[in-house]
Chains A and B, each alone.
Chain A
Amino acid sequence: MKVLMFGWEFPPFNTGGLGTACYGLTKGLSKQGINITFVIPTAPKPIESDFVNLIIASCTSFLDIKRVSSLLVPYTSSEGYAKTYKSRYFNKNFGNIYGQNLFDEVNRYAMKAREIAINETFDLIHCHDWMTYLAGIEAKKASKKPLVVQVHATEFDRTGGHPNQAVYDIERMGMHAADLIIAVSNFTKNKIVKHYGISSEKVFVVHNAVEFRSFPDTEEFKIKSQDKIVLFLGRITLQKGPDYFLDAAKKVLENEKNIKFIVVGSGDMEIDMVERAAKLGIANHVLFTGFLRGDDVDKAYKMADLYVMPSVSEPFGITPLEAMRNGTPVIISKQSGVSEVIKNCLKVDFWDIDEIANKIIAVLKYNALHHCLKEHGLIEIKKFSWNDSAKKCIEVYERALNKS
């Protein structure tokens, strides 16, 4: 089976879980014998070294990669796009290649997709999240092949229930144009059925996964201090609940002093969060590291005594699986897809600051609890495999092919 896939940049060049999920899934699929032509929007990089290309080539040898010059990046907003566009336009003088706003660019990308669809041979189209939906629709029109869209997040998740109408419209259009839909969790499936007018028989859940790797415990990962470390790692945006993390930190610090709270990531709420920490009077206990990638992410998990994911609305949430893989206990929001698939963790409502603080203190204070979460978490995480997700994905492909 040959699949034309519209996806996103792989680790370590990703900006979030979408790239990680694309990488894991495509790797699993190709192991199951699926041929994938993988289309990625790629912005021209100021300095693109051979080394970088080499890495990309070596870790993605299982794919036929088509790069389409575009300023699209996952998670961007109209404002974010305008900024990028402006800096590129004025600094590099690219002329009128790129769309003047985000939606123009999404449309332009779709037209490029049409060209690719005409020139390539494939059995099925698979695209990931709203920015590629129009591309998928155009490819379907041009090729008459079935379209599967995969929902990694909806506009409702990203905006805390206040969707941008234009984004919502594209999402809705993509979901209705698709022959079948893949949701990364039941949590997301319910949102698709509830908010997008899709019948539940059309939506199939394929949970994300993580591959177990063992990382050595070396001195390198130890912080030279008696303080315990509680980690937040994710985009610093409303969706991820960084404000709840800081409010819980404040409660914890009222009871226990020797704790550092580390915030890893970047995002539109970063400045607000630095200010919030200062306002709460806990700035000396909160460290902001900025965005980390590659091995540094695993190092961060290793250093931490506890990982907290207080997301307001998390379609899946791969990061807790990565933390557990590193032997780090996790507290996760019940408003998440990942809470459907892991047991050996602590679950909280994202708004329940008291309960988050209670559980943070418990994990840091009771070695037995920390130890049980760690050991049972490691056993549990070894059961995950992208091959299982890929197999489920192939079942959806087969269904879509039989349907048309």
Chain B
Amino acid sequence: MLDLLNKHEEFKISYSFSGVILEQFEEFMPSVLQSFRDLVDTGKVEILDETYYHSLAFLHSKQEFKEQVILHNKKIRSLFKQNPSIFRNTELVYNNELANFVESMGYKGILAEGAYTPKTTSRIKLLLKNYKLSDDVAFRFSDRSWKEWPLTVNKYTSWINAVNGNGNLVNLFMDYETFGEHQWADTGIFNFLRYLPQELLKHPDNDFKTPSEAIKTYNPVAELDIHNPISWADIERDTSAWDGNDMQKSAINEIYLIEEAIKKSKDKKLINDWRNLQTSDHFYYMCTKWFNDGDVHKYFNPYDNPYDAFITFMNILNDINFRLKENNTLKKEVVV
């Protein structure tokens, strides 16, 4: 990416990291963190804010959500010397309420999945993922049964060029593991990425913008009304991958039930462990939808089945409850 940024003056890119992955970079791979700092130093990279623990806290506790976003903001400021003004929620989960809440926290823009029809409300600017063009790369790039396979830079560029005249912006949002993990190196994904900017820039109407520049440059084209949370997951594009079945509902419920007690403990280690349990992946592993269809998702899953995921999660939560009780007992003893 640094090569691309240096080679093409017009090329820009934006990243969103969870606080948890940044911690892991710091602890285990400082060189990776440094490589991202080098990118930011080009002045052409914008960092977004999200929840520190890659959680779905907004759906369950606004207070916890706010605290996690503030924690994340602090982390980004200290590591990258940037103060993000654009927010993207975990798994692009979005609804009207979130937009209003995030706006009240001072953000100027927010990202969401783009498979929806605009309708009404909200002043904060909403950037919708171009789900077709994004997923062409993220999901379909190496799919040999896809009629567009193989996807060449020329073909893809022609699709993007076709947007000129119909719209101002093509928002390509994808998981970073698209490059080298979802799509392995031998699929040609890195060469695709290497030659994409120069092909795009051949067309005089094309350029690159960071999310902040985009919302400054363009006026909203429409208003969008979304009551029920949407996301970028699965066919349903809702939150059922994380809270669709009884195990997921019960695990999430148990987590937020002890929020107050955990915070009252003022035990940093305990609070951190409890927050780590909020990471959305834990609930995703408990999903029975794709498990019974024998889906590809299991490639990223450490568990054999959703039931084992639930049992492990609940055992850890039990341990946290146990520590919480112990902690309270100790405090009482100190008071005595």
Contacts and interface: CB of A to CB of B under 8 A. Distances in A.
Given A366-B250, A372-B288, A380-B292, A358 B311 contact: yes
Contacts of A373: 307
Contacts of A379: 292
Contacts of A371: 246
Contacts of B304: 347
B247 A372 contact: yes
A380 B311 CA distance: 21
B143 interface: no
B65 interface: no
B284 to A, nearest CB: 15
Interface of A: 343-347, 358-359, 362, 366-369, 371-373, 376, 379-380
A372 B288 CA distance: 9
B249 A368 contact: yes
Nearest to A331: B307
Contacts of B308: 346
B292 A344 contact: yes
B307 A372 contact: yes
B315 interface: yes
Contact of B288 (A345, A346, A366, A376): A376
Contact count band on B: 10 to 19
A369 B311 contact: yes
Contacts, number: 53
B17 interface: no
Given A372-B246, A372-B310, 19 more contacts: A343-B292, A343-B305, A344-B288, A344-B292, A345-B307, A346-B307, A347-B305, A366-B247, A366-B311, A366-B314, A367-B246, A367-B250, A368-B245, A368-B247, A368-B251, A369-B247, A372-B288, A376-B288, A376-B292
B156 interface: no
Contacts of A368: 245-247, 249-251, 310
Given A343-B305, A358-B315, A369 B288 contact: no
Interface string B191-234: 00000000000000000000000000000000000000000000
A345, A347, A369, A379 — most chain B CB neighbours (10 Å)? A369
Shortest Cβ-Cβ A-B pairs, 7 listed: A368-B250, A368-B246, A362-B311, A368-B247, A371-B246, A372-B247, A372-B246
**Prevailing SS type, chain B contact patch:** helix
Contacts of B249: 368
A345 B305 CA distance: 9
B255 to A, nearest CB: 13
A343 B291 contact: yes
A371 B247 CA distance: 9
Contacts of B305: 343-344, 346-347
A344 to B, nearest CB: 7
Interface in B275-332: 288, 291-292, 304-308, 310-311, 314-315
Contact of B311 (A343, A344, A359, A376): A359
Contacts of A380: 292
Nearest to B314: A366
A372 B314 CA distance: 15
20 contacts: A343-B292, A343-B305, A344-B288, A345-B307, A346-B307, A347-B304, A347-B305, A358-B315, A362-B310, A362-B315, A366-B250, A368-B245, A368-B247, A368-B249, A368-B310, A369-B247, A369-B314, A371-B246, A372-B246, A380-B292
Interface in B163-187: none
A63 to B, nearest CB: 36
Contacts of B315: 358, 362
B30 to A, nearest CB: 38
A193 B47 CA distance: 58
Nearest to A365: B314
A367 B304 CA distance: 21
Nearest to A329: B307
A327 to B, nearest CB: 15
A359 B307 CA distance: 10
B288 A362 contact: no
A380 B305 CA distance: 14
Nearest to A334: B304
A376 to B, nearest CB: 6
A320 to B, nearest CB: 14
Interface in B241-279: 245-247, 249-251
A369 B307 contact: yes
Nearest to A375: B246
Contacts of B288: 344, 372, 376
A109 B246 CA distance: 56
Contacts of A359: 311
A92 B328 CA distance: 76
B245 A372 contact: yes
Contacts of B306: 372
A366 B246 CA distance: 10
B285 to A, nearest CB: 13
Nearest to B288: A376
B310 A369 contact: yes
B217 to A, nearest CB: 48
Contacts of A376: 288, 292
A332 to B, nearest CB: 12
B326 to A, nearest CB: 18
B5 to A, nearest CB: 46
Contacts of A347: 304-305
B307 to A, nearest CB: 6
